[in-house]
Amino acid sequence: MGRLPLAIIFGVTLAACTPQQDLFRMTLVLSNANESEVFLGEAAGPPNDRGAFVIVSREGVVCEGFYLLSDPTKGEAIARCEDGRTGEFRFSSEGRVATISGTIGGEAFSGGAVDKRIVEAALAAIR
């Protein structure tokens, strides 16, 4: 029950901070080394700037955070999870795809991000 308000707050915060037409959205996937914990989520913000993200594990742990681009192809992010863990990440991108590495609660995680429009187009093609 407590997870739904976090997602709503995330969406309202993004909508209030950024004009909708300028919003850049990425779908995120992160996992630990043996894939026993996997997070899925979304990041959004203006292109070439900073933004917010939320990721949710298969077990339902929600982590929210912010990212900052240091240049158009790389940046850093921090997160706080509702179970008390914190996370730090670095990412680099090539166009509409990014690689991510970092830690959550001191454990190594890695993954990637892809422009949400690519994900939506792929899902529509298989429906």
Expressed as residue numbers, the domain containing 69 is: 3-126
The tally of domains found in the chain comes to: 1
Q: Enter the pTM of the model.
A: 0.78
Whether 42 contacts 26, CB under 8 Å: yes
Helix (H) or strand (E) segment spanning residue 68: strand 62-71
Whole-number pLDDT of residue 96 = 85
d(CA 112, CA 6): 23
Whole-number pLDDT of residue 90 = 97
Whole-number pLDDT of residue 22 = 62
Task: List own/partner pairs for 65-74 with CB under 8 A and 24 or more apart.
Answer: 67/43, 67/91, 72/48
Q: What is the CATH number of the domain that holds 109?
A: 2.40.128
Task: Chunk the chain into consecutive blocks of 10 residues (it has 127) and report each block's average pLDDT, rounded to whole numbers.
Answer: 40 44 83 96 88 96 95 93 98 90 98 91 88
